[in-house]
Chains A and B, each alone.
Chain A
Amino acid sequence: MESPILDYMREVLEEHILPLADRGAGLVEAPWLVDMLQKVEAVYKNDQPR
């Protein structure tokens, strides 16, 4: 298990990705969430026991 916050934020991010038909890609409609996720991930990695 990683962190409940990170699992949850990724789940929310999934909901904010609009699939682009026939391109196998998606459009992120919440770039602020990507930014926040990256910041929280950085704190998490820094706080993990080495």
Chain B
Amino acid sequence: MSQPAHQRKDTGSTFNALIQVAALTYNCNACGLCASRNNSVPGEGHSQARLMIIGEGPGATEDAEGRPFVGKAGALLNQALWQADLEREAVFITNVVKCRPPGNRNPVQEERLACYPYLRKQIEIIKPNLIVVLGKVAAEFLLKRPVKITKENGKLEFLPSGLGVMSVLHPAYVLRNQQPAIRASFFQAIKDARNIAYGISDPGLHA
């Protein structure tokens, strides 16, 4: 009996390939961010995830733990995933740059480009159905155009390669604003992304 389309097993080859990418980031000195990092943060999740989530760069907590989105913004992202009936382990979460920019500044273009081979390889290995880019920096880097993220939250578009990308508000922005409407639109965008990536309807389990 063939495997249903919505089920994917984590196979050794894709998992090992991601481990190899991660190992390369640990010793990477392609840009100046390596000088101040405690840990590189290559990303984590399912090696054949339907949905890939890409943020801007690690923060202080992520730099300390070597894992993406484990601070307050990560907690909000986890909550949004849970409300969308998605386990964090079922998606793959990473950032445009794998090392923390000092003072949480935005990574400059040279740093983004220096780190891009790792991100490109991760996308090639995982082959996600859909990429969610969190925040303006990640959205503009992937889409290669100016993005007004507050206006374009939840917008789906396709890269010339056919890869689907959805721009979503960064959870840190949602936390800063404390506005119920912004929070609701962030949660809804994650649900919409889940629906498209998995080809399923909104179950309303945790609404």
Query: Within residues 118 to 136 of chain B, which ones have a CB less than 8 A from any CB in chain A?
Result: 127-130
Is the Cβ of A9 less than 8 Å from the Cβ of B199?
Answer: yes
Is the Cβ of B201 less than 8 Å from the Cβ of A8?
Answer: no
A24 within 8 A of B: no
Is the Cβ of B201 less than 8 Å from the Cβ of A32?
Answer: yes
Total interface residues on B, CB under 8 Å, equals 22
Given A36-B196, A36-B199, A4–B127 Cβ distance below 8 Å?
A: yes
Distance of A1 Cα from B160 Cα, bound (Å): 11
What residues on B are CB-neighbors of A4 within 8 Å?
127-129, 162-164
Which one of A1, A3, A13 lies within 8 Å of B158 (CB-CB)? A3
Is the Cβ of A2 less than 8 Å from the Cβ of B6?
Answer: no
What residues on A are CB-neighbors of B201 within 8 Å?
30, 32-33
Interface majority SS on A: helix, strand, loop or mixed? helix
C-beta contact mask, B178-201 vs A, less than 8 Å → 1, else 0? 000000000000000001111111
Distance of A4 Cα from B197 Cα, bound (Å): 10
Distance of A48 Cα from B158 Cα, bound (Å): 8
Distance of A32 Cα from B163 Cα, bound (Å): 22
Is the Cβ of B196 less than 8 Å from the Cβ of A40?
Answer: yes
